[in-house]
Amino acid sequence: MQKKHKRTFDSGFKTRVVLEVLKEGKTISEIASQFDVHPNQMTQWKKDFLENASVVFEGSKKEKNEIKKMKEEQDSLFKTIGEQKMEIEFLKKNLKKLNLL
């Protein structure tokens, strides 16, 4: 007897199915047969989607602030690297003058 493998669906597929369910143009059964997914599974995806819908709008502010902080940190690091590079070049130049390099 062969063991059935568990089907997995990517987030894009789940989103398409849920959006089709939310349109309410077809019954759950019709959509289930169209996408070859059990109606209970589609109902669970719809529930999860609606529970987490607010994250779409919340995340943008948090992400923008995080990106801003990362850019500021990156600029600071680039500045530090530039300063260190100049110091290294200065030291190399002076060591050459002293015939130590």
Q: Which of 27, 48, 49, 29 is nearest to 39 (CA)?
A: 29
Least confident of 14-18, 37-41, 58-62, 68-72: 58-62
- Region 42-67: mean pLDDT is 85
How confident is the model at residue 90, as a pLDDT? 95
The structural domains of the chain, with segments of one domain joined by +, span 9-53, 68-101
pLDDT at 4 over 80: no
pLDDT value at 82 more than 90: yes
Distance CA 74, CA 64 (A): 15
